[in-house]
Amino acid sequence: MGDIQSLGTLLRQLCISSILALSLTLLSSVQPVFAASSTQPLRCSLGVYLLSLQELNVAEGSFGADFWIWINCPQKSPDVLQKMDFVNSKQINPSLDSDQEKGKIYWSNRKIQGVFKHDWNVVNFPFDRHRLKIEIEHGLLDVDQLVYQPNNQISTYQKNIGFDGWKITKFRLREYPKRYETTYGDPTLDPAQGSQFSHVDVEIFIQRSSLIIFAKLTTVVYLALAISLAVYFVQEFEARMGTLIGALFAIVINQQVVDSTLGKADGFKLIDAIHITAMFYLLVAVILAILSYRDGEQGREEIAIRRDFLSFKISAISFVIINLILIGSAAIAG
């Protein structure tokens, strides 16, 4: 009887040991899952203070900016600011790096002088409005490791910032996760899912505050058109044609100046429409000059004079109306 009790006790101990071993095995396999799910990315506040804008280069598709940028993190993380990537930059010159611990906050800042890419749409020049962007990501840490939290309350621009012909209408920071089709070789990521990085856009909304450049680029066109209208009062055919050819040549040269200044936009620019309209009126003036010459040769000078005077009035009024419509449409569209 005692042997049976001993055997029973041994079996109970074996069962308990087996259950404990199985429980420990299950816990060891489940623990990493809970550990991974409880891991939170480092969340750092990000701010920007814009010092200046310069070199707004339409032809090169770029703009220059100087600004301070800072990071506030709840724990020390090396190179959060130093490994920051300015995605759309053409040139970056950082300086004056600083790292300090303020209470329980780790504060890093640096000054940036850079040149950034921007696709200038000048179709509605000089009423065009633009949203300049400075795109920011960390060069190494994805969204599982680092998330930027823009601080728009203290991010702003220097109020006396000055750059000729423009003004800032709005300034803000905007964060969103940006997905890439590659893992950049990270063995912990699923290649089918790619990778995501916390992405911040520093958005600077600007619009033109001066029409001086527009006036300079259109003065030649309007003068050439005015001269071409004046030839309706000239009866000599050779002088009339010579004046019209000279006006046409001036408009063509001025169009080349416009393209070199504003670049060749994909769309049809307002200033292109003004040049082409002026060329059309020159073509009409050439045709009417030929008709007047023919009438003069046939002894119908009075008919030619009346037609030229009527053509002058129609051309002058219609050209002004068409220009007002073109300019008004561009001003509304912006």
| DSSP-assigned states of every residue in 212-269 | HHHHHHHHHHHHHHHHHHHGGG---HHHHHHHHHHHHHHHHHHHHHHHHHH---SS--
Structure confidence at residue 262 (pLDDT): 81
User: Where in the sequence of the chain do the CATH 1.20.58.390 domains occur?
Assistant: 212-333
Q: How far apart are CA 208 and CA 130, in angstroms?
A: 9
CB 70 within 8 A of CB 94: no
Q: What is the CA radius of gyration of the chain?
A: 36
Q: How far apart are CA 282 and CA 226, in angstroms?
A: 10
In this structure, what DSSP letter does residue 182 have? -
Structure confidence at residue 182 (pLDDT): 77
Instruction: Classify domain 212-333 at the CATH topology level.
Output: Methane Monooxygenase Hydroxylase; Chain G, domain 1 (1.20.58)
Block residue for tokens 């709005």: 170
Q: How far apart are CA 224 and CA 226, in angstroms?
A: 5
Q: How far apart are CA 282 and CA 225, in angstroms?
A: 7
Structure confidence at residue 36 (pLDDT): 37
Cα 172 to chain centroid, rounded:
14
Task: Indicate the helix (H) or strand (E) that contains 131.
Answer: strand 129-138
Structure confidence at residue 33 (pLDDT): 37
Among residues 245, 192, 247, 185, which one has the least CA distance to residue 221? 247
Coil, helix or strand for 137? strand
Q: How far apart are CA 71 and CA 81, in angstroms?
A: 7
Q: What is the pLDDT of residues 149-206, one digit of tens each?
A: 999 999 999 988 877 788 899 999 999 988 887 777 777 777 777 888 899 999 999 9
Q: Is 22 exposed, middle or buried (0-12, 13-18, 19+ CB in 10 A)?
A: exposed
Q: How far apart are CA 328 and CA 334, in angstroms?
A: 10
CB crowding 177-192: b at 16 or more within 10 Å, else e: ebeeeebeeeeebeee
End-to-end alpha carbon distance in the chain: 102
Instruction: Classify domain 42-208 at the CATH topology level.
Output: Acetylcholine Binding Protein; Chain: A, (2.70.170)
Among residues 325, 63, 216, which one has the least CA distance to residue 333? 325
Which residues of the chain are under the pLDDT cut of 70? 1-38, 78, 264-266
Structure confidence at residue 76 (pLDDT): 78
Structure confidence at residue 35 (pLDDT): 37
Task: Read off the amino acid at residue 31.
Answer: Q
Structure confidence at residue 102 (pLDDT): 81
Among residues 254, 248, 266, which one has the least CA distance to residue 215? 254
